[in-house]
Every structure is written in C-alpha cells, then in structure tokens.
Structure 1
Amino acid sequence: MASVMPVVVYPPDEDGGRRVRVDGELLGRAYALWDIAEFLRRAGVEGADETYVEESGLIEWRGGGPDVWEH
C-alpha cells in the first residue's frame, strides 16, 4: 500500500451490519471481520485478513471495536 487510507467502521445497525468507509468512499456493510478484510483487499491493502482488521491501529472503530456486531 503506497499511502495510508482512512478506514472508518461505523456502529452496528439494527441488522448487525456495520458500514465501512475507506478513503472517503462507502464500500458497503460488513457483518464480520472477514467482510472488512475483503473490502480492504479490494481497496488495495495487500494481505488484509481478519487478524489485520482486528489489530490495525489504522481503522477507526465507531460505536464499538472489532468484537461488536450487535445493535
């Protein structure tokens, strides 16, 4: 990854999905860490996996951290 992209994961909605925004672009709703990892891989973050998502200090978690998936 050439530059750092801001990653924001929003609070869970009533269905347990969390909106994911990367570099200002809404990429979709995640229902698990692997969804976020897939969004990041598609955005060009090589090697992004569930551990990366869980431990990365570059992700701003709003409304709870990587273990919060219920509204």
Structure 2
Amino acid sequence: MTKVNGRLYSAQPGMVIVAPDFDGDSLEAAGWIKVATGGAGTSAQRPRNPPAGAMFHDQTLARNIVHDGKHWRDPATGALV
C-alpha cells in the first residue's frame, strides 16, 4: 500500500488503477509502473485530438491504446480500435 497526497493506493500485480497525474508521478517514483500517460476512461472519453504517440487506457476495452496522429490503435496489433 502506498500513500500519496493523503490517498492510499493498493493493487495486485498486473492490475490497472486510475490515479490523477499529480499522484501518478509520485506513485512512479515509489516503484509503480505508469502505463498510460494520456489518461484513462471509457471509449467515449478518449481525447479528441491527441498528439501522435499518446497512450490512453481505455476502460471499455480494458487495455491501453495508442494514437497514430489520426486514429486510435492497438499497440500490439496495429488494428484500429
């Protein structure tokens, strides 16, 4: 369990949690792994005009996706998502 800015964070290995950016930096410094620097949310909440390379954790799909400058893609397969 890690306490950051008065909030407690706990997760099992491989589990994804959503934390505000200002907590994410502190969690990363404490040894947690940041997996989506472009935020997290449902498919409907994806950023509209992100830069190429932006990564987003799509909670509807339960996976990270990456923006190629025009479309959101699965980084493992390159498929549109």
TM-score (norm 1): 0.26
More helix by share: 1
**Structure with the larger RCO, 1 or 2 (CA within 8 Å, 6+ apart):** 1
| Greater C-alpha radius of gyration | 2
TM-score (norm 2): 0.24
